[in-house]
A = this chain, B = another copy of it.
Amino acid sequence: MNPNQVISLPMIKRLPLYFRVLEKVEEQGALTVSSAVIAEELGLEPVQVRKDLAALGVVGQPRIGFEVSKLMGAIRALLGWDNSRDVFIIGAGNLGAALAGYNVFKSHGMNIVAAFDTDPEKIGQEIHGKMIFDMERLWELVHRMHVHIGILTVPVDAAQRTAELMVNAGIRAIWNFTPVKLTVPENIVVERVDLLASLAVLTRGLRKLLDVPGTGEAKIE
């Protein structure tokens, strides 16, 4: 990996997309791939792909391209997909249960091992084979199992309060699925999945489409 190259956030977000393309290319039996092919597949510019791959530390060969396996290995390493991390789900409601059963995460470095809730009805039950524990036991289990990541899927009103419990229990990274901007200490990482922002973009796109038909302004993902 080239340590001089800065790895930007937009780039980090593109890496999973590259990886998917590489899987596809690999399935088709190719050993190498050019930046043009990856770019085409994702609607990006080949230069951007080359820059990103350079930042990954993978060098290509003129006239040949990049080694698929090298690229996949580099992405896996950078995103930590090569060594799985144990994760807790905090809030065993609909969304929490859905994420507990979402097998895509497993192959992407995230191993959901248990869930927590305050509802006595839920405590002791299982969701998708994962035990639901009492929130009271979060500190104990965070320490016993050395878990650093928590997925926050509690109702809006409980979000900030629960985040604080997580921090106190020793959780260092919160994947926040609530529509709340959490206030946390400086040394805690929070990444929010902003469904309302995404919905806003969708609605905006649709409105443009319906208001001004035929202008072709629609975003092709």
Q: Are A193 and B189 in contact (CB under 8 A)?
A: no
* Bound CA–CA A182/B173 (angstroms): 30
Residues of B with C-beta under 8 A to A9 = 201
Q: Could you say which interface size class chain A belongs to?
A: 35 or more
Tallying the copies of this chain within the complex gives: 2
Residues of B with C-beta under 8 A to A102 = 94-95
A190 sits at the interface (CB 8 A)? yes
Residue of B nearest to A206 (CB): B173
Residues of B with C-beta under 8 A to A158 = none
Q: Are A199 and B110 in contact (CB under 8 A)?
A: yes
Residues of B with C-beta under 8 A to A201 = 9, 12-13, 191
A197 sits at the interface (CB 8 A)? yes
Provide the A163-186 mask, 1 if CB < 8 A to any CB of B, else 0. 000000000110110011110101
